[in-house]
Structure 1
């Protein structure tokens, strides 16, 4: 094709020898540059925004950040620390985060409300990690004793789902106990001040409550729920930055191995992160199992909880877990 066809108004040159070679070199150079730009856009050119809870159940994210495992994997991760799952879910839903962790109830609610999120793993489970705390001098000995009383809980959390399940198992109507929606960080003080009669939360809040004059009334174990803490991601991120996602999961896997191999150092790091004494931290960590997984038992637990939440009117639809979940980044 003549240059006059490509660039109207220009006359074809007389010397045709070196021009094709120069043109070919130019095209190849532009192709390489374009490929480099394309490759750059698919890598960690932008920081990975990770919303996680600064709580005992989130030992893997905390350790991965504190020990520099994300940086070792070549990633620039911006940690966003929250004290409850709904805050992490809001960060994901609003597009302020690429990855986020939350309890099973929050994950189910999020997946039922948005098709832009994918559940990719659980990083912790603990059947007894949610506890109901009352004051030491209170007369309450059973859940039924709290009928007509005020219980502080952060609504929409995994703890709230466990509380509803405990009420159902005991045959207590949900409206029999007044639920006061409070941030977990305020619950121990609210109980000590007498503004609530009890509170329910996941660690470290129950242990903090015990340090401030509380005692355990019960856990929400024995109800067929493993209470997995789920890791969710933006679908667009997963599609555009697969290599970064795999490196991200590799860093969490390194954190998992560290937690299992160095429990004492892990307890020290988590004690500094949460403000709990080391001994209390070790006792609280014993209520948790830290592992990256999305196996049949976790899927069954999610499915059962989703069905229960729908029956309770907390979600309108049960998520299609065949499309809302994937374990491809674990293998």
Structure 2
């Protein structure tokens, strides 16, 4: 594919527009509590339990879905909302965007959402609190961030960054956790051997790297592909390990009452993934509705990068769940490992 050449000035302007759009999306999260619970399907529709395949029209369902705005880790759901796949299957998805996973999960626990798309760590934390929240599938297996450096930077691996300043979106955030894990694996103490600072996202992260304030910064898609497309940046580190990054989580009592709705949501999500994996270009138009300032060829690269981390069959892997659990234990968030079958239920995924 030809490499898109975008000037740094144009990229800065483009990212500021994207950030503005994301900010507007986050503002919509404040209205989540006004959602009407009566609009959620009871899950007793006409579709069968074998993945929704039936000769009759399935009963319509409305599902309130929360996600953190600004990135592409929930790509499967983003495609399905924007290309009409859920609607065609009789599912109206009421999307609510949040600025943080913690706020989103609070809305889920409070009953303002039916499904939340976020890191498995939130499932573990709710289980620790005695709340019935489980993961019913996974749409992204990874940390969602990569470390980007200038193309001519001398660093070839994380081991070369000792003594350097590195930027994350926010200290204590997922991007910070993912970076520190990588540094630890490279024999570098993230608290002593490097300085980690807040770098924000989009244009602010780009400016921090370009100015030399930081040796590299953690960015997510489509920002990563935009930066690389200029020819001035490269990815130094993209976490290679299993990590239950974006799971489909819900309260168990809601799922018990709405099994058909959840089953159909997972079935359609699986079909979207199968279609996009076979033809990534087919998902570009849908994703440009989320990020309309990104060139189509850059978006196709970003789509391919994200789809490569969607797990087969949308299944949460035990390795990915354990990685998150180990980090939570190390950070003192939970004090012991919670059994996989207590936090994950894959029985509603298409077989």
Change (3 A) 1:96 1:232: same
**SS at the partner of 1:266?**
helix
> Residue 169 of structure 2 aligns with which residue?
153
> What's the CA shift for 1:90?
4.4
1:294 aligns with 2:315: yes
Secondary structure of 1:76's counterpart equals strand
> Is 1:220 paired with 2:235?
no
Q: Which has the higher helix share?
A: 1
More displaced 10-residue stretch of structure 1: 87-96 or 172-181: 87-96
- Which residue of the other structure, out of 295, 298, 304, is the alignment partner of 1:277? 295
Looking at structure 1, the residues matched to 121 and 198 of structure 2 have their Cα atoms a distance apart, in angstroms, of 16
Deviations 1:4-54 (A, max 9, x none): xxxxxxxxxxxxxxxxxxxxxxxxxxxxxxxxx9x9866689842111345
Deviation readout 1:195-221 (Å, 9 max, x if unpaired): 544211332232234357533222222
1:116-155 alignment, distance < 5 Å: 116-125=132-141, 130-136=145-151, 138-143=153-158, 144-154=160-170
Displacement after TM superposition at 1:166 (Å): 1.0
Quote the Cα distance in structure 2 between the aligned partners of 1:114 and 1:154. 29
CA contact (8 A) 1:104 1:158 kept: no
Q: Which runs of 5+ in 1 are unaligned?
A: 1-36
The aligned residue for residue 27 of structure 1 is none
Q: Are residue 180 (structure 1) and residue 180 (structure 2) matched?
A: no
CA contact (8 A) 1:124 1:292 kept: no
Give per-residue Cα distances to partners, 1:229-264, cap 9 Å, x unaligned. 211112232122222212222221232233134321
1:306 aligns with 2:325: yes
Evaluate the alpha carbon distance shift between residue 104 and residue 285 of structure 1 in structure 2; reply closer, same or farther with a 3 A threshold. farther
Structure whose CA Rg is larger: 1
Deviation at 1:99, TM superposition (A): 0.8
Q: Which residue of 1 aligns with 2:261?
A: 244
Match of 1:325 in 2: 344
Residues of 2 paired with 1:115 and 1:87: CA distance? 16
1:149 CA displacement: 1.3
Aligned length: 289
Contact 2:168 2:176 in 1 (8 A): no
State TM-score, norm by structure 2.
0.69
Residue in 1 that maps onto 2:76: 60
Where in structure 2 are there 5+ consecutive unaligned residues? Answer: 1-37, 45-58
Residue by residue, what CA displacement relative to the aligned partner does 1:176-204 show, whole Å, maximum 9, x if unpaired? 33333455444334434555442113322
CA 1:95/1:204 → structure 2, altered by over 3 Å: closer, same or farther?
farther
Structure 1 residues 227 and 243, CA, compared in 2 at 3 Å: closer, same or farther? Answer: closer
Q: Deviations over 1:88-130 (max 9, x none)?
A: 4444344432111123455545554562321111123358x63
- Give TM-score, length-normalised by structure 1: 0.72
Measure, in 2, the Cα distance between the counterparts of 1:41 and 1:309.
34
CA distance in 2, matches of 1:40, 1:283: 37
Contact 1:101 1:229 in 2 (8 A): yes
CA distance in 2 between partners of 1:40 and 1:305 (Å): 32
Secondary structure in 2 matching 1:174: coil
Post-superposition Cα deviations, 1:67-95, rounded to whole Å, max 9, x if no partner, equal 22222222222012357655544443444
Distance 1:139 1:315 in 2: 39
Are the structure 2 counterparts of residues 316 and 153 from structure 1 closer, same or farther at C-alpha, using a change threshold of 3 Å?
A: farther
Q: Tell me the equivalent position of 2:246.
A: 229
Residue 59 of structure 1 deviates from its aligned partner by: 2.1
Please state how far the C-alpha of 1:62 moved relative to its aligned partner.
1.0
